[in-house]
Structure 1
Amino acid sequence: MTMSTLTASAAAVFFNHDGEVLIVNPTYKKYWNLPGGAVDIDQDEPPYDAAVREVREELGISPHIGRLLVHAWITIPGTGAQVLYVYDGGILSPEQQAAITLQESELSEYRFCAPRDLGPDLVPPHLDTVWQAVITAHAERRLVDVTVRL
């Protein structure tokens, strides 16, 4: 029997006053993403704390991070699974947006994008279900639990 691995990640979703979502372009991946990253399981870091830390590290700002919006269970055949927690970062003020300073070792750029434009050229097609859950959870102000089998 082979050992599968389980990883945990946490992110926050932010919007501007026009209803566009903040996405970041990682230097080490093909697709855009939400600000966030790995939960430090070895240090007993809770997912919420990881989201707060990752936003501070990646964007250089410390906005209030609200409640959990999405819990996603993503299985990867032959590899294991990933659990993803996405929290509500709310609406960033123009001042907060102007204060964004990217962590250049991980991110090359950021932008705001209309949710309807989050297509396969921007976000990973296999994670479309997760992106749609994030948009739905934010719009309907409720927790969405989603399972993705790759």
Structure 2
Amino acid sequence: MTEDPADAHRAVTDYTASLPTKRMAAAVLFFDDTDRLLLVEPAYHQDHWELPGGCVEANESPHAAAVREVREELGLTVQPGPLLAIDWVPPRPDRTEGLMLVFDGGRLSPEQVTAIHLPPDELRSWAWATPQEQKLRLSPLLARRANAGWRARVEGRTAYLEDGHTVS
């Protein structure tokens, strides 16, 4: 007896629907001429600054999410470059585990910097930050991720991280 291909397809669909899901986000690292990193200050909390980016929505690629989030947060339409880092973040009491992808946004031109427009209900401000300023403004996890992304950009590779720590 020959198996109906439609039955095989349903079996695969049923199986993949049962697999675990992970929270996913995408961020973009933007630089100025002195390699300072662009950070954004959220309006909804005051603990730490963040990298431009956000949650990957259902049926959206991480790259498309990065493009969308940068447009929503900075008012810029860009095509991010290579993937710099992927960071697996373990579950916490207030969050599920997740995969965070960091793309290279390259150097922003003076025209792009002038065109930055923040949504006031989401972001209070933005600033260029040196590595030392990043440590002060970002959460420790985000500072590790940003630093790893910067190193990966310099070295021309993609970094794999777990909780912001490089895994060799």
Partners of 2:79 and 2:60 lie apart in 1 by 18
| Counterpart position of 2:42 | 26
Maintained 8 Å contact 2:50/2:142: no
TM-score (norm 1): 0.88
Contact 1:69 1:137 in 2 (8 A): yes
Q: Does 1:123 align with 2:143?
A: no
| Structure 1 counterpart of 2:113 | 97
- State the alpha-carbon separation in 2 of the partners of residues 114 and 128 from structure 1: 11
- More relative contact order in 1 or in 2 (CA 8 Å, sep 6+)? 1
Give yes or no for contact 1:102–1:108 (8 Å, CA) kept in 2.
yes
Q: Kindly state the Cα deviation for residue 6 of structure 1 after the two structures are TM-superposed.
A: 2.6
- Among 28, 34, 38, the alignment partner of 1:12 is 28
- Are the counterparts in 2 of residues 115 and 135 from structure 1 also a CA contact under 8 Å? no
* RMSD, matched Cα: 1.7
CA displacement, residues 40-95 of structure 1 (integer Å, 9 cap, x when unaligned): 02xx0000000000000100011231111110000024443011011000000011
The answer as to 2:100 corresponding to 1:106 is: no
* Matching residue of 1:148: 163
Q: Is the 8 A contact 1:60 1:99 kept in 2?
A: yes
More helix by share: 2
* Residue 48 of structure 1 pairs with residue 63 of structure 2: yes
Q: Say if 2:48 is the partner of 1:38.
A: no
Secondary structure of the structure 2 residue equivalent to 1:80: coil
After TM superposition, the score normalised by the length of structure 2 is 0.79
Residues 77-92 of structure 1: matches in 2 within 5 Å? 77-78=92-93, 79-92=95-108
| Paired AA for residue 61 in structure 1 | L
Relative to its length, the structure with more strand (as a share) is: 1
**Runs of 5+ unmatched residues, structure 1:** none
Aligned positions, number: 143
Runs of 4+ in 1 over 6 A off after TM superposition: none
Distance 1:127-1:34 versus aligned 2 partners, 3 A rule: closer
Gaps of 5+ in 2: 1-19
